Every structure is written in C-alpha cells, then in structure tokens.
Structure 1
Amino acid sequence: MEEQTILVTGSTDGIGKATAHALARQGHRVLLHGRNRGKGRAVLEELEEATGSDRLALFIADLSVQERVRGLAEEVGETHDSLDVLINNAGVFMPERKVAPGGIEMTFAVNYIAPFLLTHDLLPLLSASRRARVVNVASIAHRSVRSVDWENLPGFDDYDAYDTYAVSKLGVVAFTARLARVLEGTKTTANCLHPGVIDTKLLRAYTGEQGGAPPEQGAEVEVYLATSPDAAAVNGGYFEATRWARPSPLALDPEVRERFWEMGLDLTGVEEWHRSSGKAYA
C-alpha cells in the first residue's frame, strides 16, 4: 500500500487513537492531534513503541477555539507540502451547556464548526496531493433530528445535551454532502461515517457508564474510508459499518445542507474568501 500522510484529529484517545494505531501499522505517516501536550507525547511514544513507526508527529490544538484550529492548519502546512487524508474524528458530548469563544455552544463548536474550518483551511494542502480524501465522523444520532430550530443555533440557549449532539452530527452529514458538491471534478473527495456505538469517553459522558464495542471496531470504518481502494471514487457518501447507507431525510434536504454551509461560512469568517475565490478547490 502506498504511504500516505494522514491527519487524525482527536487521536490521543478512543477511536482516533485506534485509527492512528492501525494507520501507523500500515506504514502511513500519521499526524496525531490532541488538546493536552503531556498526554499527546505519552500517546506518541506509546504508538511508536507499539507499531515500530518512525513516521508519527504530534500537533496540539484546542478545537473549540477557532484561532487554534487555524493555527493547527498553519502548523501542518509549515511542516508538510501536501496532505493525503484528513480525518475529522474529534468530537465531544457535553452533559451540561458550555460556551466556546464567540458564543458558540461547545458541542457545536467542536463537532461541527471545527471540522468545517479545519477542512477549508487544509483544502489547499489536500489539493497538492495526487489524490486526497476528507473523512468526517458523524453519528447515527443525526437520524433523531426531526427539525432544526435554527433560532437556537449556534448558542443553544435552549439546551438539551443529546439533541445538541444530534444536531451537530446532522451538520456534519449535511456539510459533507455540500462539500462533496464543491469538490466534484477535483482530486479530493469527502465522505462521512457512523463508527458504531463504541466504548469511548464520549459515550460514557452520555450514558454515565461503560458500554459499546471496542474502539478498534470504530477505527475499522475510519481506516476503510481513508485508505480503501473501494472507497476512493466515492464522494459525498454516508457510511455505517463500511457500507454505504442513506442518511436521514433531513440530511438530504438541500435547504438544510445550504443553511448549515452558510452558517459555517459566517461563523468562521471563511465566507468572504470562499465567495470571492470562485471554484477555489479545483
């Protein structure tokens, strides 16, 4: 298998760590990401010892802060000429409402706004690759959203932890489909996935107890979309257990996709650059 350079956000724990481990075992150059430098260094050393890889690097950024997201993209660009795969894996579930800088609710900031911004900022680096993929981690929870209270976004003043999480993941599915449309005819694809019900900190934050399948099972889906030749030509797909699946009717609604996209542009400040640059990602 050809060596690729792959950035995995949220890869110091859970599914992201298992994904990074599997990719490193395959011989890829894996860029780890976490919030805590001490923990990140420990995971880096652990994976180097476990996989024998000397192709691992560590990047630190708090994805709830947009300046840190931009800084992450800049740092990756300063150290690499191209990026073959971006796996937007990092995610949170907040039992109680917390607000990120800019008045954006924390779950929405990390689960939707951060991958939206990071992807846009890394698209030039992805376009420098011979073939590139964006892999976004969504959730089957998006199916529970029957309608979006747009007036409640992005601050979620009327807060329900599960509903907020589900809306953030609906946004990921909608964003992926809208991004795929922009990327049509280019060398880059975008797909998203539900990794399964996996035993992670996120699941325990929701249920209050351990449960679910091991992280390695969720990692299989991420690795498949990141590296499988079968997935190379797919663009705009939603996957469950490495199989294409039809997302919720709401996620397929063109108006919903457009509203999430426009909100992402407005909240990140990408709007003016994106609209003035025409087909910027060709």
Structure 2
Amino acid sequence: MFIITNMSKTILITGSTDGIGKLAATQFATNGHVVYLHGRNADKLAATISEIKTISQNKQVHGFIADFSDLNSVHAMILQIQNEVPKLDVLINNAGIFKSPISKSKDDIDIRFAVNYFAPYILTQQLIPLLEKSTQPRIVNLSSAAQSPVSLNALVGQEEITTQAAYAQSKLALTMWNTYLAMTYKNITSIAVNPGSLLNTKMANEAYGQHWSPADKGANILYDLAITEAYIKNSGAYFDNDKGDEKGHFSNAHPDATNQEKIQQLITTTDTFLASL
C-alpha cells in the first residue's frame, strides 16, 4: 500500500480520463499525492480511477463527473467539490475540445468557448477559497500554440466563426485570463502552458490524423509546473513546451495575453454573459 506523506498535495485535474491529463494524474498518484480526476462519462471515470489506483498503489484517487459543454453541470460539480474536498493545492485546467459533432453548447455558444474557457473560468473562480487554504496554491491553465485575437461577439454566441478560429480564440482567452488571475490573486501562482503541439493524444489524432511528440512530453510539463518549487515566482507567465528539445521554456504568448485593456474587456464581457445565464 502506498503511504501518503505529509508532503503530499491535493490536486484536481480536469479532463483526466485520457490523454496528458490521465498520464499526469498517474504520475501524481504514483508519487503519493491525493488526486481528483474529472471526466464526463461515469463509466470511463470509474475505470480510470481503478486503473490509476492499481498502477500507483495509491488509494487516494477520486473523481468528479461534469459535462463542460453544459455550464449547469459545471456548477453541480463545483458544489460536490466544495462538499468533499477540504482544500486544494493545485488545480490543472486541462479539459479541452477541438473537433466535436456538436458545434454549440447548451447555452448557445460555440462549444470550444464553453469547454476551453467558460467552464475553467467558472470552476476556478468558485474554487479560489479552497486554493487559498493551501500554503502554496497553484493553477495551471492549458493553453496552446494556436492563439488568435478574441472576438467578443463570437465569445457570447453572437458571431459564427470556424472551428479552428474558435479553438484558437478560446485558448488565447484562457491565456489572457491567466494574466488576470495572476494580477488579482497575488497569493496564487497561476501559469499558462502550451504543453506541446500535436502530442500523441486522442484530440490531436482526431483533429489532424497525426502527432509529432509523445503524450508524455505534455504530461511531464504539467507535473513539473504544478509542483516544482522553481516556478513559484512565475505567476502570470506563459510556458511554451514547443521551445527547446525535451523541455520548453517560458516565452511570449500572443501580445493580447498581456494587453491590459483587452484583458479587462474580456473579463467584463465574460462576467456579464455568465450573469445573464
């Protein structure tokens, strides 16, 4: 039996029933941390929890169910987390979507904006009190090399854009919000990361039919950014794992990611839209 030490952290990883989220969760569990997974399919979530418990010999692996394309489902998951988790040391907003048979969410916005931006926005804002109970809280937001200027009309479902545009805009929105988090919550280290382009994951293979790098490359950087002491002072920064060879480095995201006026417009539009639901 794996012994959980006093040094273990409590970590929540969204979108962790496959891909780099699952691989990172397995690493955390193997190293004695308390891990909470998230998935949208109950059977798949249960199977993943069982698998990671067996591999890691760590019984402290749990999970929550929510469909991130349905923001009401996100709110229900938040309530469950608040009731069951006493504190969070690390939140990794890993869940994401590119291709989908459904283009619109239940709130009539592009599904990529719902899953990749609005869901983690809502989740994180509501879990800030749990993170603030940690001595060294950390948020890792999964960005992408694909980043495009955000159309505020498209964000709230008032403009139709392509799948690629919606994905790239959702990822820049997340990166801009990461900057806002770092400015707003000085006691929480918040880092945005491009885990690597075309990793060997279900999402990349479905979207492009190929991959350039193993999924472990992305999982390893998530693990590193989440708990390594060296990154405590990098709040608000953007880590580009496409830079370098085996491991990337901090770099510049799209210029809008640090544009204070555009960030404030994004946050104001986001909050107004969410208040209208």
Give the structure-1-normalised TM-score. Answer: 0.89
CA distance in 2, matches of 1:211, 1:156: 34
Aligned residues: 265
Distance 1:96 1:155 in 2: 18
Q: Alignment partner for residue 179 of structure 1, among 178, 181, 196?
A: 181
Tell me: CA distance 1:270–1:213, structure 2 relative to 1, closer, same or farther (3 Å): farther
* 2:233 paired with 1:233: yes
| Aligned 8 A contact 2:192 2:236 in 1 | yes
Corresponding residue for residue 261 of structure 1: 267
Distance in 2, matches of 1:256 and 1:101, equals: 27
User: Would the alpha carbon gap of residues 156 and 24 (structure 1) be closer, same or farther in structure 2, given more than 3 Å must change?
Assistant: farther
Are the counterparts in 1 of residues 151 and 169 from structure 2 also a CA contact under 8 Å?
no
Q: CA contact under 8 A between 1:156 and 1:164: conserved in structure 2?
A: no
Structure 1 segment 199-214 matched on structure 2, within 5 A: 199-207=200-208, 209-214=209-214
Instruction: Return the alpha-carbon distance in structure 2 between the equivalents of residues 239 and 270 of structure 1.
Output: 34
> Normalization by structure 2: what TM-score?
0.90
How far apart are the structure 1 equivalents of 2:81 and 2:173? 25
1:84 aligns with 2:86: no
Aligned to 2:112: 107
1-structure distance, mates of 2:276, 2:31: 35
RMSD: 1.8
C-alpha distance in 1, partners of 2:162/2:206? 14
The answer to whether structure 1 residue 250 and structure 2 residue 256 are counterparts is yes
Q: Which runs of 4+ in 1 moved over 3 A?
A: none
What does residue range 56-135 of structure 1 map to in structure 2 within 5 Å? 56-94=61-99, 98-135=103-140
Unaligned runs of 5+ in 1: 272-282
Structure 2 residue runs without a partner (length 5+): 242-247
Pick closer, same or farther for the CA change 1:236–1:95 going to 2, 3 Å.
same
Alignment partner of 1:138 is 2:143: yes
Q: Which residue of 1 aligns with 2:152?
A: 150
State the SS of the aligned residue for 1:135: strand
What fraction of aligned residue pairs are identical, expressed as a percent?
33
Match of 2:164 in 1: 162
Label 1:97 to 1:154 Cα distance change in 2 as closer, same or farther (>3 A): farther
